[in-house]
């Protein structure tokens, strides 16, 4: 079984190298057996993709560490692997930092709910917990994920109780009758045996500001709604359907789409974000290489920190020969931008298994990124 070899590698290399695990599994019993007992190295990510149909039944008192996550569905390896490398190389999202932050947040959160009266009805206790947790320690989406362990977009009684207990055992020791009452209150209907994701999140939104008066509550909800509104490239799903034929004018349209803050330059993060919306995940190093290329023949000096960004002249120099009538032109362009060898030499991929689609995807990643890849199959 591939996971046994993979876990052996984690154990053997975890003390000397940063090892990350991507596990694709359709057998719930394997996940239920291994996940609660494995000690995941804090310096790496453990991303477990469950593709089975039956719900997972993990111990009610089990908590996934901050650097491990169970995700329902199959990974897009050509997006996931570059993003994983990028997050670590840039130190934007290091596993050990997340674990430390989670521990600190957990301690702070426990202190923040110490004064909640257990004599209050369960629904009021839950509202108080939500108002002190969401936005300060985690997002609504992260909060919901703690409950929906089988990721079927609904919550049963056992999932609700398990999730509540993970936040506070003191506040949520509930009888069957109290649990039923709470489910009805959350869903805002009677006789509930399943709470939909929409109902649960609506309840969370209503509970966010239960400590405030109505005026403050409405003002903050409107502010939060505007902050959550996603920025997006106009019609990026269809590509840029530009009617003009002048290349410089075309590129000016695209430049303005990329320049989200409107400061007249495109930062590395803006370039990464824009390409992600085109369906191409590029690493920070790829963006840096592209930006350095844009400065050839320019009078501007490019700082080593890459904080300066590129103006329209550099952007035009970079993309003047690229077909931008559809997103594929930009995607193809970045497919040719290789990571620096100093980065790729530090990375390697090992696949423990024999699935042809996975091997093909990893071979593609290896070729595109310049990262070494080896496959260990079990067809002896």
Residue at 235 is within a domain: no
Q: What is the CATH number of the domain that holds 277?
A: 1.10.238
Main-chain dihedrals φ then ψ at residue 122, nearest 5 degrees:
-55, -40
Residue at 86 is within a domain: yes
Q: Are residues 356 and 302 in the same domain?
A: no
* Per-residue confidence (pLDDT) for residue 108, from 0 to 100: 78
Q: Given phi > 0 = left and psi -120 to 50 = alpha, else beta, which region is 160?
A: alpha
Question: Where does the pLDDT of residue 371 fall: very low under 50, low under 70, confident under 90, or very high at 90 and above?
Answer: confident
Query: What pTM was computed for the model?
Result: 0.55
Q: What is the pLDDT of residues 281-321, one digit of tens each?
A: 676 767 777 776 665 544 444 443 445 678 887 777 777 66
Choose the final residue of a domain: 186, 209, 232. 209
Q: Are residues 91 and 171 in the same domain?
A: no
What is the Cα–Cα distance from 6 to 25, expressed in whole angstroms?
A: 13
Choose the final residue of a domain: 209, 224, 241. 209
Choose the final residue of a domain: 174, 209, 244. 209
Q: How far apart are the first and last CA of the chain?
A: 13
Residue at 193 is within a domain: yes
Residue at 240 is within a domain: no
What is the Cα–Cα distance from 47 to 83, expressed in whole angstroms?
A: 13
* Number of compact structural domains in the chain: 3
Q: Are residues 333 and 268 in the same domain?
A: yes
- Long-range contacts from 360-368, C-beta under 8 angstroms, 24+ separation: 361/77, 361/78, 362/77, 362/81, 364/78, 365/77, 365/78, 365/81, 365/82, 368/78, 368/82, 368/335
Residue at 230 is within a domain: no
Asked if the model's pLDDT at residue 262 lies above 70, the reply is yes
Q: Are residues 64 and 43 in the same domain?
A: yes
Asked if the model's pLDDT at residue 373 lies above 80, the reply is yes
Pair 10, 40: CB distance under 8 Å:
yes
Residue at 298 is within a domain: yes
Asked if the model's pLDDT at residue 170 lies above 70, the reply is yes
What is the Cα–Cα distance from 353 to 5, expressed in whole angstroms?
A: 10
Q: Are residues 354 and 331 in the same domain?
A: no
Q: What is the pLDDT of residues 52-101, one digit of tens each?
A: 888 788 776 677 787 888 888 888 887 788 778 877 877 767 888 877 77
- Mean pLDDT for 4-10 is 88
Q: Which domain holds residue 148?
A: 116-209
Question: Where does the pLDDT of residue 195 fall: very low under 50, low under 70, confident under 90, or very high at 90 and above?
Answer: very high
Q: How many CB atoms lie within 10 A of CB 107?
A: 10
123 class by beta-carbon count within 10 Å (0-12 exposed, 13-18 middle, 19+ buried): middle
Q: What is the CATH number of the domain that holds 159?
A: 1.10.238.10
Indicate the DSSP class of residue 21. E
Asked if the model's pLDDT at residue 119 lies above 80, the reply is yes
User: In the numeric block, which tokens belong to residue 153?
Assistant: 């977009």
Q: Are residues 125 and 45 in the same domain?
A: no
Residue at 243 is within a domain: no
Residue at 91 is within a domain: yes
* Per-residue confidence (pLDDT) for residue 166, from 0 to 100: 79
Q: Are residues 136 and 53 in the same domain?
A: no
Asked if the model's pLDDT at residue 241 lies above 80, the reply is no
Which residue, 7, 21, 105, is CA-closest to 70? 21
195 class by beta-carbon count within 10 Å (0-12 exposed, 13-18 middle, 19+ buried): buried
Question: Where does the pLDDT of residue 329 fall: very low under 50, low under 70, confident under 90, or very high at 90 and above?
Answer: low
Q: Are residues 147 and 178 in the same domain?
A: yes
Helices 122-133 and 176-187, interaxial angle, to 10°?
60
Q: What is the pLDDT of residues 105-115, one digit of tens each?
A: 777 777 878 88
Q: What is the dihedral of CA 275, 279, 283, 284, to 10 degrees?
A: 20
- At 266 the three-state DSSP class reads strand
Q: What is the pLDDT of residues 123-162, one digit of tens each?
A: 999 998 888 888 666 778 878 888 887 778 899 998 898 8
Q: Are residues 202 and 120 in the same domain?
A: yes
Q: Are residues 359 and 326 in the same domain?
A: no
* Per-residue confidence (pLDDT) for residue 324, from 0 to 100: 53
């Amino acid at each position: 079984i591939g996971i046994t070899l993979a876990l052996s590698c984690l154990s053997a290399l975890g003390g000397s190298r940063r090892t990350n695990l991507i596990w694709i599994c359709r057998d719930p019993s394997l996940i239920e057996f291994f996940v609660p007992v494995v000690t995941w190295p804090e310096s790496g990510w453990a991303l477990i993709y469950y593709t089975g149909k039956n719900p997972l039944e993990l111990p009610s008192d089990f908590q996934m560490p901050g650097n491990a996550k169970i995700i329902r569905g199959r990974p897009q390896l050509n997006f996931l692997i570059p993003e994983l490398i990028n997050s670590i190389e840039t130190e934007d999202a290091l596993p050990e930092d997340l674990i430390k932050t989670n521990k600190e947040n957990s301690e702070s959160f426990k202190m923040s709910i110490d004064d909640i009266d257990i004599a209050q009805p369960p629904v009021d206790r839950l509202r108080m917990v939500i108002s002190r947790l969401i936005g300060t320690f985690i997002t609504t989406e992260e909060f919901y994920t703690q409950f929906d362990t089988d990721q079927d977009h609904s919550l049963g009684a056992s999932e609700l109780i398990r999730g509540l207990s993970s936040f506070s055992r003191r506040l949520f020791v509930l009888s069957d009758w109290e649990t039923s009452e709470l489910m009805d209150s959350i869903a805002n209907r009677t006789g509930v045996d399943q709470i939909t994701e929409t109902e649960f999140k609506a309840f969370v939104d209503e509970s966010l500001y239960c400590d405030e008066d109505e005026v403050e509550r409405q003002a903050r909800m409107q502010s939060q709604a505007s902050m959550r509104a996603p920025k997006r490239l106009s019609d990026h799903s269809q590509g840029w359907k530009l009617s003009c034929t002048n290349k410089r004018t075309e590129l000016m349209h695209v430049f303005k789409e990329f320049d989200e803050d409107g400061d007249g330059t495109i930062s590395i993060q803006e370039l990464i974000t824009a390409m992600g919306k085109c369906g191409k995940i590029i690493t920070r190093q790829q963006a840096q290489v592209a930006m350095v290329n844009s400065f050839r023949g320019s009078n501007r000096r490019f700082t080593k920190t890459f904080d300066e960004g590129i103006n329209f002249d550099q952007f035009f120099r970079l993309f003047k020969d690229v077909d931008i009538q559809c997103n594929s032109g930009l995607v193809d362009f970045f497919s040719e931008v290789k990571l620096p060898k100093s980065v790729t030499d530090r990375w390697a991929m090992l696949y423990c298994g024999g699935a042809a689609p996975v091997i093909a995807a990893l071979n593609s990643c290896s070729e595109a990124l310049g990262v070494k890849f080896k496959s260990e199959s079990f067809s002896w």
